Amino acid sequence: MLAKLIQHASPLAQPGSARHILVVLPRLDSSSDESPGFEFAGRHALASLLARRRMAWREMGETPLSATLEGGALCAWIIVDPAQPPFEQQTRLRKAVRLLLEEKPAEIHLAVYGEGREIRDVAEWAVYTALVNGAELPSRKTAGKSESGKPLARIVLHGCRNADGFAAVYARAEGNLLTRSLTMLPPNELTPAIYRAKIRELAKREGWKYREFDVKALRKMGAGAFVAVAQGSDPEDAAIVHVKRRAGRSGKTAKTAKNVALVGKGICFDTGGHNLKPAKYMHGMHEDMNGSAVALGIMLAATRLGLPVDIDCWLAIAQNHISPHAYKQNDIVTTLQGTTIEIIHTDAEGRMVLADTLTLASRQKPDLMIDFATLTGTMHTALGCRYSGIFANREELLEKASSAGKSSGERIWAFPMDADYDDELESRIADIKQCSLEGDADHILAARFLGRFAGDGPWMHMDLSASSCKGGLGAVGSDVTGFGVGWGLTMLENL
């Protein structure tokens, strides 16, 4: 349950009954040491704190300060420059909000000072940051040992109002939290069978249409790439799940609504198969279903906002296990499309399950198809955990993707996928190799491989190297970031 928002037009000059307060100040004149020319909560306490530290007002910089006010309220102050990129604003606000949320308050007060549209944008980021960090996330610590405490119940906003009640902020926050909550579940609580049941329940609640293709059906259809991975698990509870959301039809919307396919990798646990991962790299592989969770998070946010976009969500849900039935190196499998694949490495299972899933999605000729996957280690090597990589088969899509990354605060970086990379995927005995054992530029090879199955329509592939970042990223304070939901929602809004 997300915290309830209460809005007040008047600024918060005195703490009153508030016990946890975040004061967001506008950028001060860098050439002046004088304090802001207006009253705000804890002004005198902040002045004393700066004096004790021998700091000028303008030296507050990006690091938040906090102190206990007379009367016992905890107050934090931060300067946020509306001209800065959203990522920088989010990061500053996250650091400041964390100072308050460490005490697990039921209510926090946000006092945002300044004027104009830019300040309203800052207020929206402040509310969003409080929502995504104050909500309850999965934890299995027993009673008396839990560090999570009770979730934030109320946010009281002072000095800035939003006519629609911050609907877009709440939609994005709910999508992000769905993604993180699913990704954080331990693997024994999110097997493919359990995951399918959860999606079925979510679809029923949201009014989405639900259909699934289980292993038996996929084997009959000839989806050999997906089945090759799925057959290693006992029971064979894998499936390609199709969830459909249709926008309301009225007037102009009935003719102009775009259709978008969101495709997600949903490997609930990845052992690496017969090419078994070492313990260091197998730990955390319950998060390998994050791409599917991102797709669901975007779909939920779009539904909450009522975006005039038709969405088909295609989720490749399976596990990659080692067993007598598991696929192995040198196998040749035939995809739903009819392409034959030579298996080179069983830990490159993500591109296998996505191949047949992309084929199914592309057959409906969407106006845009985007797939999300925690796909390659080389993408993490290239970018670390602070950006995610993007590929596209249209140059204009890369420009739109980059713009959406900047405005959403979820930064992406475009990579090439020129045709000559295919030299590394040439096979003597099949149509294509699954990957290369050398591993060089595997993120690019994986994108070239997936492109074989994406059809001729507009397509983008996001390799989610920023799905997990120690200490948090941007607005999000948990290691699991939910990266991709904000970016994807922005892409849909821009349609």
**What percent of the chain shows pLDDT beyond 90?**
82
Q: What are phi and psi of 456, to 5 degrees?
A: -95, -10
140 is catalytic: no
Token readout for 361 is: 């999605």
CB 312 within 8 A of CB 222: no
In this prediction, residue 444 carries a pLDDT of 98
Question: Which of the following is catalytic: 351, 400, 411, 448?
Answer: 351
Q: Flag whether pLDDT at 184 surpasses 70.
A: yes
Helix, strand and coil content of the chain, in percent to the nearest 5, comes to: 40, 20, 40
Alpha helices (H) along 34-101:
43-52, 86-101
- The per-residue DSSP string of 241-270 comes to EEEEE-----TTHHHH-EEEEEEEEEEEEE
CB 156 within 8 A of CB 123: no
In this prediction, residue 254 carries a pLDDT of 54
pLDDT tens-digit profile of 277-334?
A: 999 999 999 999 999 999 999 999 999 999 999 999 999 999 999 999 999 999 999 9
pLDDT tens-digit profile of 380-406?
A: 999 999 999 999 999 999 999 999 999
In this prediction, residue 30 carries a pLDDT of 59
Looking at per-residue confidence, does 57 or 437 come out higher?
437
Give CA separation, 269 vs 128, 156, 187, 281, 358, in Å: 31, 41, 6, 12, 21
Of 39, 22, 93, 32, the C-alpha closest to 57 is 32
Looking at per-residue confidence, does 12 or 350 come out higher?
350
351 is catalytic: yes
- The residues pairing with 9 across neighbouring beta strands, listed in sequence order, are none
Question: Which of the following is catalytic: 95, 104, 277, 406?
Answer: 277
CB 87 within 8 A of CB 474: yes
pLDDT tens-digit profile of 85-106?
A: 999 999 999 999 999 999 999 9
pLDDT tens-digit profile of 240-255?
A: 999 999 998 665 555 6
pTM of the prediction? 0.96
Of 215, 276, 225, the C-alpha closest to 453 is 225
